[in-house]
């Protein structure tokens, strides 16, 4: 009855909050990495080198985008590396069996999307099962199928134009970078500007309340996992194009790198928190870092150590941050 | 008495089924290739399964507390590598000391995971995925990318895996001893039983004053220790330590646990079931080549078997719950 | 009778943010007595138990055991002084054996190597079980036992810690008649062996059969203590519900329209059976009964959360069977869930986002969100329901219980609905907010919504509703017209009642 109640609809600008964002730290770290890299190799800051470097690491960046959705849903998908291998192997084998290359590429995406959709379907139909066991099983199965198809052989011999995906440039900018930027924008909009993205955030916080509020929770899970698989297929395309051939053991350990990038990007493993900018910066941080370590002649294993440590440390930092200020929800 | 008998029967039904399956599988394989059930092959089957069996015990405890450990393959590689380097540098070192070294390193690595999970509540998947890669990387780092090969290892060290005690291969002996030790630990110590209590009802455990976090920490430390032990045995057995030793082996270990009836939702897991699950996997690995199935099928078959086991479990539980609801007097 | 009490509580108060759970409550327990504790849902019984068992510490007041003032920092300290509680939802280890459950935390070990002494543990457990007349063994797996048997294990566990004060929280709620008899026998056995029991129950029969004395709480206050032979059923009910059907619930005269919802023979196996009732437009139908009677489950089936196994639901004469809340909302059925914090709200979210969650598609263009419009709608709905918050960007967790509940109601109003199901809408909110919510409910009825009001509070049921459907143990036991009934009639239909004549309390404490 008391009509005096007036509820404000203007957001208060909080400058302190603006400056104390995780993304600024990431920007700092990225700059640091770039500076270190350029001190190792004077050619690094040359525009042509700088713009080409991302082509060496962006293939897995495509999975980072949907994996961000998966983590915001408070789940994890560790089957993506296997999905990349399976879809790449099927593409190569079907091409060599006479399928036209464009159709083989389409098949690659379909297989990968199906792989993700199966994960989603299992999670919906068997709600008792945790995402860990479901994606662990499919991780074994998908790579297992890749081995059944190809044994320890490699398969390749793709048409020349296929290498454009991984190596091509448009006005000096790598094709893969252009694709990545476009896909990243699409996923960013999907997360922050659509009802679907809103539902994903809500389900990460409280899936029960979302179901009671009429959100189609099953569909959200299914689509997120399907997208995750689909993007693994995109990764398979670019990876295969860069390597020129594929074998069942490709993309081993991609799940770690991808999850590390998402976690470093400030997406909470407890779900509900994350912004597209963080993981994007993290893709470039870890990418440039690996590249720089290559410049410094450090072997790949050290990169493993660094990435593993980054994953653990960033999760730890977020846990401590989360515990100290539970109130700030950055959606 | 009647009720009790029926319960015991249902509980052992799963193990009975597994045993039956193992027998049928063995007979079928034997039919295809008579070389299967020879003393020689059985000995090699058991030798090959010994390491898996040791690791499965640790993994069972981890799963019982509702966790998972993906880092054990890497820990095996690291401890194996460090031990092999030690053996190469100090040829006179006693095998027992080498085993101790590997185990100790494993315990330390497991303790790191334990702290992350028990103290900081990091999800077990995340913590062990991180550890898996850190430790794998460190393996390459300490070895400088090189292998330690057979000729660099002393005969005594290799005898850990090839020698015999009382006519039985040492690996089998070690596995049996480990089983006996853990049978005692799980069934006859308070700590062992309380691990199951924590997995069965974590909330209740906390209220009744059971040190939940300390037990979870302990479980990962044990897992690390067993991985360390297994790493040394692996290196002794294959007489070579490499950077990619036991890569992906954690999946087989988890598969053995799930086949053996260990519940991934915690609280449930028996050593007898575990043993059957391990042997089942061992037979699969041993028999497939014997009946001319390409080794490349092994991974896929294992994956399908695991998923099938998990899904069957869910179905059975749903069925039980439905029956219970029907019996409710409403 | 005037023996020194073994347990005595005086002036106990306990406050939670926005809720006054207990205020100046007293209680005393004599050695070897069974003391019934009664009160409606929300009367403060559970908080009271948690204070005795050391789960909560009181904000004011003192606890004395054997005449000495004590403070418990944790449940273990209470246990050490001989207090044990047997909760309604059994807190056991389903995967372990009975003996292990009994001795968890104080296992029997051999003296030298600290090995678990299984033989001794099983023998001793069996002694307890035999003493309690159990017909199962210490080696059975806890999870394979019925609830009644699990309770016996919990009692054995209490005995194994040498408990002198055993609290039983609605132990008979989930038991059959026969199983209850068994429990009575056991409880009387405990009394004979000198243990004092606090027995909490909704069932009159439990009290007449067992209790030496009975204490009643209402709305967090102490109402009184009587010898079981000094008070009759009617007076006890009056003590529990109070007489003040206050001016809080001004029933408005609303023209009632056509039949909106009709539920026929609705059954969900294991939860409710053969439930039939109907709701007309503009009508408030109260669905009442004890907690666990199946009211919430019926509502959740109508709302599509857990679809029913058989029976029909008709909305405006058309048969419907929503398989999810999403489908129910599309049909025009809204639902305010029982657990506001778990099912109703995303606490870490701004109230604006919470309000628009059920109707996101209304502010979107092919999936693209129009946040300006969304914010505007949210603000208008929040104002309409007088949510006390400075802005739509205030987090839901920062609001009081009553304002949180208003936000949940605002969520419903963001959709165009015909039928609104309200499951305990005033649970855990303060008096002022309660009045405001009741007024909103009245408004909604006036606007022509059909309303199902699930409530355990008699004044609310009698003050708000047009008709009353009473449920007991999964069945409908009465269809009543509010203006022609009384709380006694409702309670008689809701409770398992037997006349005191068949069960007189057998003697007091010596």
Co-location of C89 and C26 in the same domain: yes
Per-residue pLDDT reduced to its tens digit, A117-136: 999 999 999 988 889 889 99
The reported pLDDT for the residue numbered A327 is 36
- Give strand ranges (E) for chain B: 164-165, 168-169
The domain spans of chain A are 55-249
Mean of the per-residue pLDDT values for chain B? 85
pLDDT at residue B112 tops 90? yes
Put simply, the answer to whether C395 touches A329 (Cβ < 8 Å) is yes
Put simply, the answer to whether B302 touches A140 (Cβ < 8 Å) is yes
Q: Is A157 an 8 Å CB contact of chain B?
A: no
Co-location of C429 and C467 in the same domain: yes
**CB neighbours of residue C113 within 10 Å:** 8
Smallest CA–CA distance, residue C108 to chain B, in Å, is 9
pLDDT at residue B7 tops 50? no
The one-character DSSP state at B117 is: I
Position C506 confidence tier, pLDDT thresholds 50, 70, 90: very low
The one-character DSSP state at A11 is: P
Would residue C508 count as lying in a domain? no
| Domain range enclosing C211 | 7-244
C72 vs C500, more confident: C72
Put simply, the answer to whether A301 touches B314 (Cβ < 8 Å) is no
Put simply, the answer to whether B129 touches A151 (Cβ < 8 Å) is no
List the 267-326 stretch of B: residues with Cβ below 8 A of C.
Answer: 267-268, 322, 324-326
d(CA A38, CA A29): 14
The reported pLDDT for the residue numbered A147 is 93
Co-location of C234 and C322 in the same domain: no
Put simply, the answer to whether B299 touches A144 (Cβ < 8 Å) is yes
* Mean pLDDT, range C374-402, rounded to an integer: 87
- Considering CB atoms only, which of C342, C349, C386 is closest to A5? C386
- Considering CB atoms only, which of C348, C358, C367 is closest to A194? C367
pLDDT at residue A1 tops 60? no
Among C414, C444, C463, where does a domain finish?
C414
The reported pLDDT for the residue numbered C459 is 77
pLDDT at residue C477 tops 80? yes
**Which of B161-175, B208-222, C483-497 has the least mean pLDDT?**
C483-497
Put simply, the answer to whether A140 touches B251 (Cβ < 8 Å) is yes
The reported pLDDT for the residue numbered C220 is 83
pLDDT at residue A66 tops 90? yes
Position B6 confidence tier, pLDDT thresholds 50, 70, 90: very low
The reported pLDDT for the residue numbered A106 is 96
List the 15-54 stretch of A: residues with Cβ below 8 A of B.
Answer: none
Give the C-alpha distances (Å, rounded to integers) separating A271 from A80, A202, B324, C341.
19, 9, 34, 17
* Mean pLDDT, range A171-193, rounded to an integer: 92
The reported pLDDT for the residue numbered C431 is 66
Position A322 confidence tier, pLDDT thresholds 50, 70, 90: low
d(CA C430, CA B3): 51
d(CA C419, CA B12): 51
The reported pLDDT for the residue numbered B82 is 93
Put simply, the answer to whether A211 touches C361 (Cβ < 8 Å) is no
Co-location of C226 and C356 in the same domain: no
Helix (H, G, I), strand (E, B) or coil at C268: strand
Per-residue pLDDT reduced to its tens digit, B120-133: 888 898 899 999 98
Selected for mutation to probe chain A from C303, C337, C342, C348 (highest A CB count within 10 Å) is C348
The reported pLDDT for the residue numbered B8 is 45
Q: Where residue C83 sits, what CATH number does that domain have?
A: 3.40.50.300
Pairing assessment for the beta strands C333-336 and B164-165 based on DSSP bridges: unpaired
Would residue C338 count as lying in a domain? no
pLDDT at residue A313 tops 60? yes
d(CA B78, CA B241): 9
Put simply, the answer to whether B131 touches A312 (Cβ < 8 Å) is yes
Element (H, E) at A107: helix A101-125
Put simply, the answer to whether A141 touches B68 (Cβ < 8 Å) is no
> What's the domain count of chain C?
3
**Which of A276-285, B10-19, B25-34, C27-36 has the least mean pLDDT?**
B10-19
* Mean pLDDT, range C383-408, rounded to an integer: 86
- Considering CB atoms only, which of B131, B254, B300 is closest to A145? B300
pLDDT at residue B38 tops 90? no
Selected for mutation to probe chain B from C92, C105, C142 (highest B CB count within 10 Å) is C105
Question: Phi, psi at residue A16, to the nearest 5°?
Answer: -60, -45
* Mean pLDDT, range A144-173, rounded to an integer: 88
- Considering CB atoms only, which of A144, A259, A301 is closest to B300? A144
Pairing assessment for the beta strands C34-38 and C221-227 based on DSSP bridges: unpaired
Put simply, the answer to whether B307 touches A137 (Cβ < 8 Å) is yes
pLDDT at residue C244 tops 70? no
| Chain B residues whose beta carbon lies within 8 Å of the beta carbon of residue A130 | 264-265
The reported pLDDT for the residue numbered C502 is 38
Among C355, C388, C414, where does a domain finish?
C414
Q: Is B14 an 8 Å CB contact of chain C?
A: no
Co-location of C309 and C456 in the same domain: yes
**How many CA atoms, within 13 angstroms, populate the side-chain half-sphere of residue C211?**
31
Q: Is A126 an 8 Å CB contact of chain B?
A: yes
The reported pLDDT for the residue numbered B4 is 41
* Mean pLDDT, range C242-258, rounded to an integer: 67
Determine contact, residues B18/B273, Cβ cutoff 8 Å.
yes
d(CA C422, CA C338): 8
Position B330 confidence tier, pLDDT thresholds 50, 70, 90: low
Report the neighbours of B using a cutoff of 3 or more CB pairs below 8 angstroms: A, C
Put simply, the answer to whether A9 touches C391 (Cβ < 8 Å) is yes
Highest mean pLDDT pick, A104-108, B154-158, C63-67: A104-108
Proportion of chain A above pLDDT 70, given as a percent: 95
Position C346 confidence tier, pLDDT thresholds 50, 70, 90: very high
Smallest CA–CA distance, residue C203 to chain B, in Å, is 18
Give the C-alpha distances (Å, rounded to integers) separating B208 from B118, C54, C126, C141, C364.
18, 12, 22, 19, 51
Co-location of C115 and C160 in the same domain: yes
- Considering CB atoms only, which of B203, B210, B267 is closest to C95? B267
The reported pLDDT for the residue numbered A5 is 66
pLDDT at residue C112 tops 80? no
Proportion of chain C above pLDDT 90, given as a percent: 26
Position C501 confidence tier, pLDDT thresholds 50, 70, 90: very low
pLDDT at residue B1 tops 60? no
Q: What is the dihedral of CA B244, B247, B249, B251, to 10 degrees?
A: 180
Would residue C502 count as lying in a domain? no
Determine contact, residues A271/A68, Cβ cutoff 8 Å.
no
The reported pLDDT for the residue numbered B17 is 78
Co-location of C119 and C54 in the same domain: yes
Co-location of C371 and C477 in the same domain: no
Would residue C503 count as lying in a domain? no
The reported pLDDT for the residue numbered A4 is 57
Nearest CA in chain B to A127: B314
**Which of A93-102, B227-236, C283-292, C323-332 has the least mean pLDDT?**
C283-292
Co-location of C117 and C167 in the same domain: yes
| Chain C residues whose beta carbon lies within 8 Å of the beta carbon of residue B208 | 75-76, 104-105
Would residue C2 count as lying in a domain? no
Q: What is the dihedral of CA C493, C497, C500, C504, to 10 degrees?
A: -170
pLDDT at residue C82 tops 70? yes
**CB neighbours of residue B34 within 10 Å:** 10
Smallest CA–CA distance, residue A108 to chain B, in Å, is 19
Closest by alpha carbon to C426, among C451, C409, C450?
Answer: C409
- Considering CB atoms only, which of B121, B129, B306 is closest to A311? B129
Pairing assessment for the beta strands C450-454 and C419-423 based on DSSP bridges: parallel
Would residue C158 count as lying in a domain? yes
Selected for mutation to probe chain A from C307, C336, C346 (highest A CB count within 10 Å) is C346
* Mean pLDDT, range C43-69, rounded to an integer: 86
Interface size A-C, in CB pairs within 8 Å, comes to: 110
Co-location of C43 and C117 in the same domain: yes
Q: Is C1 an 8 Å CB contact of chain B?
A: no
* Mean pLDDT, range A227-255, rounded to an integer: 92
* Mean pLDDT, range C403-412, rounded to an integer: 91
Put simply, the answer to whether C325 touches A212 (Cβ < 8 Å) is yes
The reported pLDDT for the residue numbered A72 is 95
Co-location of C410 and C421 in the same domain: no
* Mean pLDDT, range B180-201, rounded to an integer: 91
Per-residue pLDDT reduced to its tens digit, A13-62: 777 777 777 888 889 889 988 888 888 877 777 777 788 888 888 999 99
Per-residue pLDDT reduced to its tens digit, C327-345: 999 999 999 998 888 899 9
Among C210, C244, C278, where does a domain finish?
C244
pLDDT at residue C510 tops 80? no
| Chain A residues whose beta carbon lies within 8 Å of the beta carbon of residue B255 | 140
Selected for mutation to probe chain C from B6, B204, B270, B319 (highest C CB count within 10 Å) is B204
Co-location of C180 and C72 in the same domain: yes
pLDDT at residue C421 tops 90? yes
The reported pLDDT for the residue numbered C251 is 67
d(CA C250, CA C269): 38
* Mean pLDDT, range C235-246, rounded to an integer: 66
C91 vs C325, more confident: C325
Put simply, the answer to whether A256 touches B301 (Cβ < 8 Å) is no
pLDDT at residue C94 tops 80? yes
pLDDT at residue C243 tops 70? no
Put simply, the answer to whether A301 touches B121 (Cβ < 8 Å) is no
Helix (H, G, I), strand (E, B) or coil at B147: coil
* Mean pLDDT, range A280-285, rounded to an integer: 93
């Amino acid at each position: 009855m008391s009509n005096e109640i007036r509820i404000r609809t203007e957001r208060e600008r909080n400058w302190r909050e603006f400056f104390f964002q995780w993304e600024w730290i990431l920007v700092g770290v990225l700059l640091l990495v770039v500076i270190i890299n350029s001190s190792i190799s004077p050619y690094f800051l040359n525009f042509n080198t700088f713009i080409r470097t991302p082509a060496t690491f962006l293939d897995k960046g495509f999975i980072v985008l949907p994996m961000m959705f998966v983590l915001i849903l408070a789940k994890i998908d560790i089957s993506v590396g296997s999905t990349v291998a399976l879809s790449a192997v099927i593409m190569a084998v079907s091409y060599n069996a006479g399928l036209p290359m464009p159709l083989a590429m389409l098949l690659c995406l379909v297989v990968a999307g199906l792989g993700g959709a199966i994960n989603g379907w299992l999670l919906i139909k068997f709600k008792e099962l945790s995402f860990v066991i479901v994606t662990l099983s499919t991780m074994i199965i998908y790579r297992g199928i890749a081995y059944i198809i190809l044994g320890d052989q490699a398969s390749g011999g793709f048409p020349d134009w296929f290498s454009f995906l991984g190596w091509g440039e448009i006005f000096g900018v790598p094709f893969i970078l252009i694709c990545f930027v476009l896909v990243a924008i699409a996923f960013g909009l999907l997360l922050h500007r659509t009802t679907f993205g809103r539902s994903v955030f809500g389900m990460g916080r409280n899936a029960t309340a979302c179901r009671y509020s009429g959100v189609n929770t099953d569909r959200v899970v299914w689509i997120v996992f399907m997208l995750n698989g689909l993007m693994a297929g995109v990764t398979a395309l670019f990876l295969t194009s860069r390597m020129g051939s594929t074998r069942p053991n490709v993309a081993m350990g991609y799940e770690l790198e991808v999850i590390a990038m998402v976690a470093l990007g400030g997406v909470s493993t407890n779900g509900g928190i994350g912004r597209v900018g963080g993981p994007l910066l993290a893709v470039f941080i870890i990418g440039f870092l690996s590249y720089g370590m290559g410049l410094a002649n450090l072997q790949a294993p050290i990169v493993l150590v660094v990435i593993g440590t980054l994953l653990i440390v960033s999760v730890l930092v977020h846990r401590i941050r989360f515990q100290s200020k539970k109130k700030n929800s950055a959606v | 008495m009647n009720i009790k008998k029926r319960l015991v029967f249902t509980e052992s039904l799963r193990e009975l089924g597994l045993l039956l399956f193992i027998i049928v599988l063995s007979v079928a394989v034997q039919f295809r290739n008579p070389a299967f059930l020879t003393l020689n092959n059985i000995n090699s089957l058991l030798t090959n399964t010994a390491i898996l069996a040791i690791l499965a015990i640790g993994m069972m405890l981890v799963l019982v507390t509702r966790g998972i450990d993906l880092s054990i393959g890497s820990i095996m590689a690291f401890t194996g590598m460090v031990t092999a380097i030690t053996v190469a540098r100090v040829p006179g070192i006693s095998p027992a000391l080498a085993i101790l070294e590997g185990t100790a390193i494993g315990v330390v690595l497991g303790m790191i995971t334990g702290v992350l999970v028990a103290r900081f509540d990091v999800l077990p998947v995340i913590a062990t995925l991180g550890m898996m890669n850190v430790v794998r990387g460190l393996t390459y780092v300490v070895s400088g990318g090189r292998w330690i090969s057979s000729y660099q290892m002393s005969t005594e060290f290799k005898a850990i895996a090839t020698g015999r005690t009382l006519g039985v291969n040492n690996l089998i002996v070690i596995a049996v001893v480990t089983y006996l030790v853990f049978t005692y630990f799980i069934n006859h110590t308070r700590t062992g039983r309380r691990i199951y209590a924590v997995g069965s009802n974590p909330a209740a455990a906390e209220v009744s004053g059971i040190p939940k976090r300390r037990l979870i920490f302990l479980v990962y430390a044990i897992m690390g220790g067993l991985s360390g032990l297994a790493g040394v045995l692996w290196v002794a057995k294959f007489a070579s330590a490499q950077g990619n030793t036991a890569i992906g082996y954690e999946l087989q270990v988890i598969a053995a646990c799930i086949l053996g009836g260990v519940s991934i939702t915690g609280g449930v897991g028996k050593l007898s079931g575990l043993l059957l699950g391990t042997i089942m996997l061992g037979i699969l690995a041993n028999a497939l080549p014997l009946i001319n199935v390409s080794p490349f099928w092994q991974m896929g078959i294992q994956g399908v078997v695991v998923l099938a086991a998990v899904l069957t479990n869910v179905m059975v539980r749903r069925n039980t719950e439905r029956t219970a609801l029907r019996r409710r007097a409403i | 009778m005037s023996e020194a009490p073994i347990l005595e509580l005086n002036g106990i108060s306990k406050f939670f943010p926005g809720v006054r759970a207990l205020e100046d409550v007293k209680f005393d327990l004599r050695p070897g007595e069974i003391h019934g504790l009664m009160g409606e849902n929300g009367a403060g019984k559970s908080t009271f138990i948690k204070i005795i068992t050391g789960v909560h510490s009181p904000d004011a007041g003192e606890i004395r055991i054997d005449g000495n003032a004590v403070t418990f920092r944790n449940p273990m300290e209470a246990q050490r002084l001989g207090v044990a509680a047997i909760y309604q939802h059994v807190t056991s280890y389903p995967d372990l054996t009975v003996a292990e459950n009994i001795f968890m935390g104080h296992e029997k070990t051999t003296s030298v190597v600290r090995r678990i002494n299984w033989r001794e543990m099983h023998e001793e457990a069996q002694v307890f079980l035999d003493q309690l007349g159990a017909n199962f063994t210490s080696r059975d797996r806890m999870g394979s036992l019925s609830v009644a048997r699990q309770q016996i294990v919990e009692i054995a566990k209490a005995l194994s810690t040498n408990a002198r004060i055993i609290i039983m929280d609605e132990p008979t709620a989930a038991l059959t008649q026969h199983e209850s008899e068994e429990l009575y026998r056991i409880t009387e056995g405990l009394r004979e062996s000198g243990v004092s029991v606090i027995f909490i129950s909704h069932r009159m029969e439990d009290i007449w059969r067992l209790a030496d004395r009975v204490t009643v709480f209402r709305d967090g206050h102490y109402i009184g203590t009587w010898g079981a032979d000094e008070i009759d059923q009617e007076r006890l009910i009056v003590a529990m519900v109070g007489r003040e059907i206050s001016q809080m619930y001004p029933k408005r005269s609303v023209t009632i329209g056509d039949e909106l919802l009709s539920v026929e023979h609705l059954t969900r196996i294991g939860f409710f059976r053969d439930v039939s009732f109907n709701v007309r437009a503009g009508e408030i139908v109260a669905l009442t009964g004890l907690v666990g009677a199946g009211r919430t489950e019926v509502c959740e089936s109508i709302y599509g959360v857990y679809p029913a196994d058989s029976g029909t639901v008709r909305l405006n004469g058309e048969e419907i069977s929503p398989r999810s809340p999403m489908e129910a909302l599309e049909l025009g059925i809204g639902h305010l869930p029982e657990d506001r914090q778990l099912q109703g709200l995303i606490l870490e979210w701004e109230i604006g986002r919470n309000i628009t969650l059920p109707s996101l598609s209304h502010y979107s263009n092919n999936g693209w969100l129009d946040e300006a419009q969304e914010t505007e709608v949210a603000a208008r709905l929040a104002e309409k329901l007088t949510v006390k918050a400075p802005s739509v960007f205030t987090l839901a967790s920062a609001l009081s219980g009553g304002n949180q509940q208003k936000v949940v109601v605002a969520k419903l109003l963001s959709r165009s609905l015909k039928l609104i199901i309200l499951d305990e809408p005033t649970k855990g909110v303060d008096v002022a907010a309660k009045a405001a919510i009741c007024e909103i409910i009245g408004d909604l009825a006036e606007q022509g919504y059909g309303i199902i009001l699930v409530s355990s509070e008699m004044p609310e049921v009698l003050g708000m509703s047009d008709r009353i459907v009473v449920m007991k143990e999964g069945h409908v036991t009465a269809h009543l017209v509010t203006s022609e009934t009384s709380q006694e009639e409702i309670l008689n239909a809701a409770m398992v009642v037997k006349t005191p004549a068949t069960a007189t309390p057998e003697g007091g404490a010596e």
